[in-house]
Structure 1
């Protein structure tokens, strides 16, 4: 059957690629469109990146919407249907659970509120962008991507609400703490408080904190001079990396800002590179198809990067409903009427639509059923589900000229919770944590709390001015890798959901090892595969022996492994397979397979992808257990030596069955591979047509070049990976570089469908073209849009 799928997939790919090539967007000449005020020039460089030149902001964002639709219309269709809960109309019952969840969380409902309260500038940008998308959809001579042909579907016009719903979906997907509360509650139900405590998360004490208690701060005064002052409380003091170093630590005397954002691999790439120029607006970087402006990049004056801050801004509540009137729920001594919304979901292949009844309390929607925890009626209170002017924040970053402008932009981003790095052409560096963080009446929001008591409600928010931040720290370095942000004596509770800090520790080691850093140093840093917890794990096998020659050889490989998880590593393979096997050996005995899967990263929905604080901490928890040989969990698994030898024996058995007895074939890149999945590639033989990969790749959850492991497909990497890398050189912005994967285009027949994957997998980059002359020297096409 696999041979048949390969042959039929190859034939189908040739056919669909041929059709797609005849439908590629126009990139040369002239095109007349309704809705433009003046002419717009779109110059595409040889990597397929459009550089858009307009005379006014309306035409600029109109053209951005048009180019998004030219290259990514199918992806935009999937994105908006995910956000508004209409995937079932295209894919049938298989997508119904995702639609139910999207409707329950209410991305479309909240997006409409955001649009109603948006500023005049944002309204104008959304209108112009929408008109640009629809100018492509409605143009009589422009042809649709092949995916629409396969589904026999004609795309409907883009609406303003689609952009707003999509922005809300992105905000929510960058939040994560609520799902950990369910997992923690299930662990306690399964093994009790005492044994659950051994699985609790403790940030490793030797791993870095982004803002330490010794840090001192400087502040820009209006005259541009610098003077030392203390930042609020900080002097007492998931998925991405960002580092920024001042000119005191670089070879040029000017800052370098680096960022690589770790999100799910997909095809097309989640990001779309674009350069936008009009009036005083000149900004380049990556955008999200379906949403205007630039998410991460630089303008003429400043550059910025983003990581998840991993502050805890979500809580679950157990609600008590009236048994006689199911619409009423208890709040103190009163009974409140819940809001009931009935949603109709059309399902392909079904004559009768599905009806989803959504119940909303004062805390938020009831999510028990869609979250897979129907035993309790749980509501979710989340900053990500509250209206906020986040798009105004991005507009303000795009147009910022200095630190003060940047800080104002941070204030608008009430969600999501991000650690945003900053540098500017005057030589300043900085950092600010965005997003509102709740102040709780009591408790820490670590398990679902009684919603009727009021004792665990939110009573306020951490003041914006007191959120973690710094400007020009004395260290001249800022490192943020989803690690702990603040020390223990910070006066507000921000949560305990940080990642384990090993990427930050390795980053600090490499940055501290060199007095003056270069762009080349940061290129190496972003591709680093050193796995520090892997070395800690391997130490436990120093006194383990086996009579089996292949198992003994595997133990020797593990003992001599240098910690580098390169694609060629054999010792790294043995570590990863043994680690995975050992974690399951220990946890499944007490928790069962399903709950162990959740701890190791399985999410409640494969599309909406809610992550949680346990993810990435499994190795820390296991090493802590191994260090404490008297752990109840270790005893349950048969004792320290037994669990080690059984785990490596099972690992070797699996490796022999899949790769043979010759250990030289056990290379990590043969097992661990990057796959870029397309929405149409979930079924055979279309996976051979649309997907990109598999590509051998190094790393794991704990390496700087993070290539996280999916618990359901433990070695093929279909999960979190650096989706965009940028290095901004403020000595000369034209020396800045970037890469995302697999390519700019969503068209199967385009040379830019997966051309950037070759650079990305090798840790290489393309230049971020900045000046008009540089762009024209690398031009692949020039299209003039004129008003009809």
Structure 2
């Protein structure tokens, strides 16, 4: 395919009116007549780009939210819709046909009436209003193409209008789990055995898995998840080179493990304000524009503000003037891979309960730019979409996913809880929450605080969900756990509650929800800091959200005490680490050495000491918690003198790390800085298609970063170039009851339009671990308003 002929962005940018100061806001007003609005409405955009929407009814508020989402993020949300519905080929050509086919396998195809009812009595009307608002703005761009963001002109197409069903049919963008690790576990057990698997992935609560009866691990292909990966990954414009790319299994598991979040809520008795404080910083893949969007919706009976998904109505992280809420991932196992024996005479039949059952077939027509339409046949078993067929060996593989059930459109369940006025309302709403599974913390103006997880949990009576299972009827879900049986906590004596994706099931909890949780280090640091503080304030919470103290760093460097060497360079490195306090600040020399050592050398060295080379090569760095436990308590796996061998591993791997850092930063250790390696650089998705001049306009950064994936200020990174890949794109700290004191930040900015000042105006504050006011009262908002958009009913 020929590369698109692209104009430079500078030549595409629209001529825009300069943004005025707050005092001149009245002079910077726009007025539009829009069809579908019942009463006049206003959008007050403050100096940080946050839209404060004032409408005459709730329906109008959601309509304006959709209109404004399109105004600020039109290309982002249009791409989300195309990718989610499997319509990329229609605009971008034949290289995307396979991804479109894969994506369409995972559309919701169930009962729509049941689907809408799952989100509450008014969900369909809310989504319809939101989509109508998007479409109203799209219609404006049809009449005035100058309103289009430059990406549409660069790619040569126009945005499409939405249907309400688009919002709930699209499921493949959710934070899915755990089929990747099921397959990785199966392949590891098959190729290397149980010892290797224990190093690859630790299980919590402690658990010994076994291969399900009837499962032959040898029939599982290495690339069994290729279609699943295509369906669930983002859009890569490298495909214009003609190459269809998918991440490998190891990368997908690493990427998933780097995604997390922190939240905590402080009771009045432990708060400096005398009121509850709620803090939340959900972690997602870093992107430009951000994957989240801040908004404020005010209408009779509703006044909610915070962060949400730009493609969805409502707010999922924020407050409503009475109650506040914030979320982190709660690692329920919501996926299973089924393995079928297929009929040698008909590969579209699979064995079930002793007979042959037909796969359901759906024919899809995929429109392809510049080519004829392509027809693709999709197949489904009773469990879900068929993602792989091995006709040579008479096998097929299908995925059963809780997120394909009714009521599981990711984050849309927030419609049920964002109006909660008390703990009972909130708990009831969370009992219907579906996807992604979350820890929610809660606070209200009466001084109450609480923790309540939610998510659709399959009941597996005769297996643990950790490996693929035969699809012959022997392994079936027995419905879903009643969410009233989920753990919860309300107004604890210690005065605070929190989560950071750690295993937080109560002791002796009898239900099997999942066994694969994030490392506990972020939560351990949160717990350490909050327990030490008698009183916690707003600034204290922001400081903790951006805390770079590394628990693994402190524990591992403690093992160096007493270790000596005659090697001059190694002695210098030992001294540097022995004096280090574990703070991974951007200017830390010890931090640079530790992270290179720990991530690229030490963990691998432990695995290599225990396993044969081929197994060690496949396992790589191993599970960080398992590896740290082995280092702290070396055992017979290190031979007859485990402590001596442990110390030799520490020294030899450190020597290799020093050599690597010298190659990157020079030979003077005192000049090393972690931030000279670890950095953030946000690349626009169209960056591969444009020239260097345009790339500088589209992309944001680079800037040095502190922290790691193990610090509360989470800055997970690629081990090959140390570039941050995920973290807290949105941070929020709420002063519950004195809402104007609340703060937040959304990186790199609110707008997705490179011509807007709000495209990256918050990036420096975010990168410097600062925040902006999250204003709530009309008086304060008016003082900070820089643009007023008036919407009137009309044609």
Q: Same fold (TM over 0.5)?
A: yes
Give the secondary-structure state (helix, strand or coil) at the position aligned to 1:413.
coil
**Structure-2 residue corresponding to 1:604:** none
**Structure-1 residue corresponding to 2:70:** 69
Q: How does 1:677-696 map to 2 (within 5 A)?
A: 677-683=683-689, 685=692, 686-696=694-704
Give the secondary-structure state (helix, strand or coil) at the position aligned to 1:253.
coil
User: Relative to 1, partners in 2 of residues 1:347 and 1:189: Cα closer, same or farther, differing over 3 Å?
Assistant: farther
Q: For each residue in 1:146-175, what CA deviation from the matched residue of structure 2 results, as whole angstroms up to 9, or x when unmatched?
A: 001111111222222332244x344xx323
Q: For each residue in 1:380-424, what CA deviation from the matched residue of structure 2 results, as whole angstroms up to 9, or x when unmatched?
A: 222112111667732222222112221221122123211111111
Indicate yes or no: 2:771 matched with 1:765: yes
- Residue pair 2:638, 2:646 contacting (<8 A) in 1 also: no
**Structure-1 residue corresponding to 2:653:** 647
**Structure-1 residue corresponding to 2:244:** none
Q: How does 1:209-608 map to 2 (within 5 A)?
A: 238-348=259-369, 351=371, 356-368=376-388, 377-388=396-407, 393-454=413-474, 456-542=475-561, 548-582=567-601, 583-585=603-605, 587=607
Q: CA deviation at 1:473?
A: 1.9
1:96 & 1:557 partners in 2: Cα distance?
A: 53
1:744 & 1:543 partners in 2: Cα distance?
A: 52
Give the secondary-structure state (helix, strand or coil) at the position aligned to 1:626.
helix
User: Relative to 1, partners in 2 of residues 1:578 and 1:157: Cα closer, same or farther, differing over 3 Å?
Assistant: same
- Residue pair 2:677, 2:721 contacting (<8 A) in 1 also: no
User: Relative to 1, partners in 2 of residues 1:781 and 1:387: Cα closer, same or farther, differing over 3 Å?
Assistant: same
Give the secondary-structure state (helix, strand or coil) at the position aligned to 2:332.
coil
- Residue pair 2:201, 2:623 contacting (<8 A) in 1 also: no
User: Relative to 1, partners in 2 of residues 1:108 and 1:627: Cα closer, same or farther, differing over 3 Å?
Assistant: same
2:97 & 2:567 partners in 1: Cα distance?
A: 50
User: Relative to 1, partners in 2 of residues 1:94 and 1:597: Cα closer, same or farther, differing over 3 Å?
Assistant: farther
User: Relative to 1, partners in 2 of residues 1:356 and 1:533: Cα closer, same or farther, differing over 3 Å?
Assistant: farther
**Structure-2 residue corresponding to 1:199:** 200
- Residue pair 1:484, 1:499 contacting (<8 A) in 2 also: yes
Structure 1 segments unaligned to the other structure (5+ residues): 1-8, 206-237, 601-616
User: Relative to 1, partners in 2 of residues 1:497 and 1:763: Cα closer, same or farther, differing over 3 Å?
Assistant: same
Q: CA deviation at 1:194?
A: 3.5
Give the secondary-structure state (helix, strand or coil) at the position aligned to 1:41.
strand
Q: How does 1:626-775 map to 2 (within 5 A)?
A: 626-627=631-632, 629-630=634-635, 632=637, 640-641=646-647, 643-683=649-689, 685=692, 686-711=694-719, 713-718=720-725, 720-775=726-781
- Residue pair 1:315, 1:445 contacting (<8 A) in 2 also: yes
Q: How many residues in Structure 1 have an aligned counterpart in Structure 2? A: 719
Indicate yes or no: 2:151 matched with 1:147: yes
- Residue pair 1:39, 1:787 contacting (<8 A) in 2 also: yes
Indicate yes or no: 2:78 matched with 1:85: no
2:109 & 2:784 partners in 1: Cα distance?
A: 41
User: Relative to 1, partners in 2 of residues 1:473 and 1:105: Cα closer, same or farther, differing over 3 Å?
Assistant: same
Give the secondary-structure state (helix, strand or coil) at the position aligned to 1:780.
strand
Q: For each residue in 1:104-132, what CA deviation from the matched residue of structure 2 results, as whole angstroms up to 9, or x when unmatched?
A: 22357788973597766222112211111
Q: CA deviation at 1:334?
A: 2.8
1:625 & 1:587 partners in 2: Cα distance?
A: 10
- Residue pair 1:340, 1:360 contacting (<8 A) in 2 also: yes
1:648 & 1:112 partners in 2: Cα distance?
A: 60
Give the secondary-structure state (helix, strand or coil) at the position aligned to 1:752.
helix
2:165 & 2:19 partners in 1: Cα distance?
A: 28
2:349 & 2:789 partners in 1: Cα distance?
A: 59
Q: For each residue in 1:573-606, what CA deviation from the matched residue of structure 2 results, as whole angstroms up to 9, or x when unmatched?
A: 1111111222344557968899968877xxxxxx
**Structure-2 residue corresponding to 1:186:** 187
Give the secondary-structure state (helix, strand or coil) at the position aligned to 1:379.
strand
- Residue pair 2:402, 2:408 contacting (<8 A) in 1 also: no
Structure 2 segments unaligned to the other structure (5+ residues): 1-5, 21-26, 207-258
Q: For each residue in 1:662-695, what CA deviation from the matched residue of structure 2 results, as whole angstroms up to 9, or x when unmatched?
A: 2234211111112222211244635433121122
- Residue pair 1:389, 1:412 contacting (<8 A) in 2 also: no
Q: CA deviation at 1:268?
A: 0.5
Q: For each residue in 1:346-372, what CA deviation from the matched residue of structure 2 results, as whole angstroms up to 9, or x when unmatched?
A: 4556x35555443222222223479xx
User: Relative to 1, partners in 2 of residues 1:263 and 1:536: Cα closer, same or farther, differing over 3 Å?
Assistant: same
Q: For each residue in 1:10-58, what CA deviation from the matched residue of structure 2 results, as whole angstroms up to 9, or x when unmatched?
A: x945445x44758999972311111111111111100111111111122
User: Relative to 1, partners in 2 of residues 1:593 and 1:193: Cα closer, same or farther, differing over 3 Å?
Assistant: closer
